[in-house]
Structure 1
Amino acid sequence: MRIKILKFGGTSVDTAEHRQAAVKRVVQARAEGYDPVVVVSAIGRAGAPYATDTLLGELRSVDPAAAPEARELDLMMACGEIISTVIMAHTLKALGYRATALTGGQAGIVTDEVFGDARIVSINPHYVISTLAEGSIPVVAGFQGVTDPGTGRHGAITTLGRGGSDTTASALGAALHAEAVEIYTDVPGVMTADPRICPGTLSLPTVSYEEIAEMAHQGARVLHPRAAEIAMEYGIPLWVKGTETAEPGTQIAGSAAELPHRVTAIAHMPRVAYLALRVPYREDRRRLELELFKLMARVRVGFHLLRGSPEVVGFAVAHESLNRVTDLLDGLVLPVTREQGGTRLYLLRVGQGGSRSEVQSALLSASGASAEVVMADAETVETCAMVSVIATRVWETPGMGVGVLARLRDVGVRVLQVADSPLSLSCLVHENDTQRAVHALHAQFIAGAS
């Protein structure tokens, strides 16, 4: 079999007209001698009747004060993709093609038990292969899998996190030894910036696996980073194409290490909160920082823009994670063993502090503990965004950081924090400066360089 995976995003299957365009892509793959396997996302975006956010809103409206359990949230979130899968399969059938709708579990996708952000641990695609052998087109629900029935949870439905349908497509491509994975969306390929906020963006003909993964990690909503990582690991050619355009799209292949310096794109991540924890004793900062990030890793909270000045531990988190991080850190007591002996107990207080930090402080005072108790206050800036220049060989390009900061200063954008990596230079800005920052950097480093 010559298998090709075709993944269609929510805006590619949200109307009959869009589904007809998607079907044309599937039929074209068959005409080219491939056995197509279709993966679909939930229909539409927030506000659409069967979009994931709409379904979650319906669940939470039952009692806004009572948070649903993660297991039930995954059951609800999986519904959007299942509905989309059945409708897409029926569309193919109505046009005279045999098709079979499959949930992620029916497609053999087994995950760990981290509801809401599960990782695929294995795939047994025998049902997909047998469906293809029968001459039927498998249409698989993206974004979901099931836990191993042997764990005692009896195959509980899990979801793979935002953008997880891309991961489904890449993982199935690896399991089925596909010749290519094609991601279809409402833009003609991987763009040099978000065209919704930046005019004059370009579609890139090729990008490396590392570049696309970096773009995704820095907020570009073109592809889930795990999808790029899986494709890179198994050497699967990956394409991003527009469902309704004749443009060739963007091929994702090769290694960034083989490329000269170039600025690839400007990515942005809206709705970011920044926390700065002040550490009174400089000698304790590294140990406190280590314990803090070990804790956040255990609860799987991602962070960006790590700042390690002598007296501050700073980092950014997605705004949707802020309440969780605040609940986790406010009132937390972290013991730090000093090099010269003894222990300091750091009591964390986030913002103005809540009842938890006050109670902890009172308990520590009443306990008569011999260890020194130190209050560490964390300031929070909630309305931020992260704007990143994605480029190869960042660390080998003198003056790049100065150029970025100078350009933002020239257009009146205040930079709150900066961080870099081999493939990006990221700036934390106030959220209302996002569009101005993206436009200025795109004009300077991409439009101005072409």
Structure 2
Amino acid sequence: MPMRDLIVQKFGGTSVDSDEHRRAATRKIIDAKERGTFPVVVVSAIGRAGAPYATDTLRQLLKDVDPSAIPHPREMDTIMACGEIISASVMAATLQSLGYPAIAMTGGLAGIITDGEYGNARIQRIDPTAIHSAIARDEIPVVCGFQGVAENGLAGWHGDLTTLGRGGSDTTAAALGAALNACAVEIYTDVDGIKTADPDMVPDARTLSICTYAELAELTHLGAQVVHPRAAEIAMDYRIPLWIKSTFTDAPGTQIVPEDAAPLDLQRRVTGVAHSGRGVFFHLEIPDGAHKPIIEQEVYRLMAEAGVNIFLTSFSPTTMSFAVTRDRYVVARDLLDGMIVPVGSNPNAQPASTFYIFKFAFGDHPDLAYRAQRPLLRTIEQFIDVVDIPGSVFENVTVVSVVAGGHRLVPGVLASIFETMYQAGIPVHQVADSSMSVSCLIPETEVDRAVQLLHTHFALER
């Protein structure tokens, strides 16, 4: 069958978590086949957190074996992949019961080869031989999302099973679409397409009929739970025709198109309002601006070595600010509390002429390391300068972003955001912008109100 006649259809956990939902999904698959395209199906694990076969449930099952020990990542990947295997088997059986030959395929059988990194593997290549063989037999391939096998297997054996990280089923679908030269990739969810805001926060959020790859990538990176950012990037890189649709309605969904194929008015619109998870904001006052680059470099180095990603960075001649995700807060706090940075009188000076020590107060966690180390440094103050770097910490913050296909072509976006936040009394700790968006760091308690107000201000409702 010609490559252009293939279509990849991906179904998320809520599309396969009951017989009723699976029947709705199979109607989409059968409709595609009856239209003359041959479907290649990708499925996620059944249900969401708490469901018997959901990925998080399987992960906890392994953790419960020995709560005092961290499971080996190889075994963790093996058990987490079981959810998709169960889902693919049940979906294939459902299609068979309706008279449509189908075959369940693990990621390895489907030819998905990864770099072997447990828990967050990257797809290196796809050998679609088994998929093409199934199609030649008129069997619908039902591929396990979220998984593949490592390249480094012994002769005659494939390598270890590896998982692709959060959103891995989306990545599987996009990568298969590229490898199979599919005529389209359809991502099926429980919403009608890409919304102008989270419908749980804004019930009147509108479904976009068309969206560019760049807008999709920006929305997903900024927290929109539509498709995984890595999948959006693959679709954009390979210019794969992509649709976001609902399993449970006949709504047309959202079509994702290249920028050069988008209507001109998309370049001057506000696309939507997105929000991301919990974070913590750090602000440092550095007394001597001449030494600031050395201090910044040391902070960045230590954060990188500890695996702490920082974002929404801001600088002035004597200040440094940044945010970290909530799950890395304790690591960042322990690194910065009482941290000492020796600095010479000039960049090449040896020995150091000044010791800088970070001084924070962490709410219920006073700056213990600072109070322990500061008295020790007093013994050398007659020989060397010891300077405090006072810091502030704002816990429980989140990022709210306004995405515009080219906000620099949309007059007054930044001013409108500030005006809206100011009039509502919502404090803005930090602002960052890109060619596609403007993001604000605000208290987590204000996120619902901020999203609703910005959505209304930019007239994004129906």
TM-score when scaled to structure 1?
A: 0.88
Describe the SS at the equivalent of 1:415: coil
* Counterpart position of 1:405: 418
Determine which of 172, 178, 196 is the counterpart of 2:176: 172
Is 1:8 aligned to residue 11 of structure 2?
A: yes
Runs of 5+ consecutive residues of structure 2 not aligned to the other structure: none
Aligned counterpart for 1:415 among listed residues 428, 431, 445: 428
- The alpha carbon displacement at 1:432 in A equals 1.3
Alpha-carbon spacing, 1:292–1:143, altered in 2? closer, same or farther (3 Å):
farther
One-letter code aligned to 1:315: F
Tell me, in whole angstroms, the C-alpha distance in 2 between the residues paired with 1:72 and 1:329.
Answer: 35
The aligned counterpart of 2:25 is 22
1:109 aligns with 2:112: yes
Q: Report if aligned partners of 1:330, 1:353 keep a CA contact under 8 Å in 2.
A: no
Is residue 314 of structure 1 aligned with residue 337 of structure 2? no
Aligned pair in 2 of structure 1 residues 232, 57: CA closer, same or farther (>3 Å)? same
| Pair 1:96-2:74 in alignment | no
**What does residue 44 of structure 2 align with?**
41
Which of residues 120, 130, 135 is equivalent to 2:133? 130
CA deviation digits over 1:54-84, x for unaligned, max 9?
Answer: 2233333445453334333333322222221
- What CA distance in whole angstroms lies between the structure 2 residues aligned with 1:119 and 1:371? 50
**Compared CA separation, residues 84 and 305, structure 1 to 2 (3 A):** same
User: Aligned match of 1:271 in 265, 278, 293?
Assistant: 278
- The answer as to 2:122 corresponding to 1:119 is yes
Q: How far apart are the structure 1 equivalents of 2:253 and 2:221?
A: 21
1:398–1:366: structure 2 CA closer, same or farther, 3 Å change rule?
Answer: same
2:275 matches 1:262: no
The answer for the alignment partner of 2:400 in structure 1 is 387
1:17-51 deviations in Å (ceiling 9; x for gaps): 11001101111111111121111111111121122
| Contact 1:386/1:426, CA 8 A, preserved across alignment | yes
Conserved? CA contact 2:105–2:141, under 8 Å: yes
Aligned-residue offset at 1:160: 2.0
Match of 2:312 in 1: 305
Separation (CA, whole Å) in 2 of partners of 1:320 and 1:146: 29
1:278-312 per-position Cα deviation (integer Å, ceiling 9, x unaligned): 43432333344345445555665443312223333
Contact preservation (8 Å) 1:266, 1:441: yes
SS at match of 1:229: helix
For 1:311, give the aligned amino acid: T
1-structure distance, mates of 2:376, 2:133: 63
Tell me which moved more, 340-349 or 402-411: 340-349
Structure 1's unaligned 5+ residue stretches are none
Specify the alignment match of 1:240 in structure 2: 244
Q: Which residue matches 2:444?
A: 431
Distance 2:397 2:154 in 1: 41
Change (3 A) 1:170 1:292: farther
Moved more, 358-367 or 425-434: 358-367
Q: Secondary structure at the match of 2:393?
A: strand
Alignment of 1:320-331 (within 5 A): 320-326=327-333
Matched letter for residue 418 of structure 2: L
SS of equivalent to 1:145: strand
The 1:327–1:122 alpha-carbon spacing in structure 2 relative to 1, beyond 3 Å, is: farther
1:141-160 pair list within 5 angstroms: 141-149=144-152, 155-160=159-164
Match of 2:200, SS state, is coil
CA 233–49 in structure 1, closer or farther in 2 if over 3 Å, else same: same
**2:306/2:331 contact within 8 Å kept:** no
Q: Percent identity?
A: 48
Pick the structure with greater CA Rg: 2
Q: Which piece of structure 1 moves more, 147-156 or 315-324?
A: 147-156
Q: Match of 2:107, SS?
A: coil
User: Which residue identity is paired with 2:431?
Assistant: V
Q: How far apart, in 2, do the equivalents of 1:290 and 1:104 lie?
A: 42
Aligned in 2, Cα 1:363/1:65: closer, same or farther, shift over 3 Å?
A: farther
- 1:447 alignment partner, SS class: coil
CA shift in 2, pair 1:47/1:66, >3 Å: same
Structure 1 pair 130/399, CA: closer, same or farther in 2 (3 Å)? Answer: same
Give the drift of 1:346.
5.9
The alignment covers a number of residue pairs equal to 448
Provide the C-alpha distance between the structure 2 equivalents of 1:266 and 1:166, rounded to a whole number of angstroms: 22
Give, in whole Å, the separation in 2 of the partners of 1:82 and 1:330: 46
